[in-house]
């Protein structure tokens, strides 16, 4: 196993740890900005990517950029999933609220109300 393989596997594990333990929106944004900065550096100095790649035992700079791109895509995916999860929670809260606020009781019950019908009218007025 060469150096680059160790680095890449460590990176994947660190990434997983980050996703399940240490993610915050601020940290996400800092990572985004650093990735943009790194990307621009490689555009300005294309030979730099090859130099860095060679240092860790990857033949071509293009390969390094490809690996970075894959990690970035994964990272982006996780950010989106997390955001989607929040939206899901908000929709759930909203749908649940509406469902409870608009509770209806079947026909026979309306003729013969039972003790919890007090609760129904009370709850509507609270909400």
Partner 1 sequence: MPIEPKEPIWIVIPAYNEQRAIGDVLRKLLQFPYNIVVVDDGSADKTYQECLKFPVTVLRHTCNLGQGAALQTGISYAIKSLNTRYIITFDSDGQHSAEEIVRLLEPLKSGDYDVVLGSRFLRPGDAVNIPQLKKVVLGLATAFTRASSGLKLTDTHNGFRALTVEAAGKINIKQNRMAHASEILQQIATLKLRYCEVPVTITYTSYSKVKGQSLLNSVNILWDMMRSNIK
Instruction: Give how many residues touch partner 1 by CB under 8 A.
Output: 35
Identify whether the C-beta of residue 57 lies closer than 8 Å to the C-beta of residue 3. Answer: yes
Residues 39-68 that bind partner 1 (CB under 8 A): none
Under rule CB under 8 A, residue 24 binds partner 1: yes
Buried b (16+ CB within 10 A) or exposed e, 37-66: ebeeebeeeeeebbebbeeeebeebeebbe
* Least separation in angstroms between CB 33 and partner 1: 19
Under rule CB under 8 A, residue 88 binds partner 1: yes
Under rule CB under 8 A, residue 114 binds partner 1: yes
Residue of 4, 3, 22 whose CA lies nearest to 14: 22
Of 2 and 112, nearer to partner 1 (C-beta) is 112
Compute the distance between CA of residue 85 and CA of residue 88 in angstroms, rounded to an integer: 5
Under rule CB under 8 A, residue 125 binds partner 1: no
Identify whether the C-beta of residue 64 lies closer than 8 Å to the C-beta of residue 52. Answer: yes
Under rule CB under 8 A, residue 118 binds partner 1: yes
Q: Which of 51, 62, 91, 124 binds partner 1 (CB under 8 A)?
A: 91
């Amino acid at each position: 196993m060469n150096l680059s393989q160790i680095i890449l596997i460590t990176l994947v594990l660190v990434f997983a740890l980050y996703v399940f333990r240490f993610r915050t929106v601020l940290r996400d944004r800092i990572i985004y900005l650093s990735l943009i900065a790194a990307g621009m550096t490689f555009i300005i100095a294309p030979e730099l990517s090859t130099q860095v790649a060679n240092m860790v035992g990857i033949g071509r700079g293009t390969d390094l950029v490809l690996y970075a791109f894959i990690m970035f895509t994964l990272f982006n995916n996780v950010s989106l999933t997390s955001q989607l999860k929040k939206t899901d929670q908000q929709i759930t809260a909203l749908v649940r609220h509406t469902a409870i606020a608009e509770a209806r009781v079947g026909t026979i019950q309306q003729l013969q109300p039972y003790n919890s019908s007090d609760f129904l009218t009370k709850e509507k007025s609270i909400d």
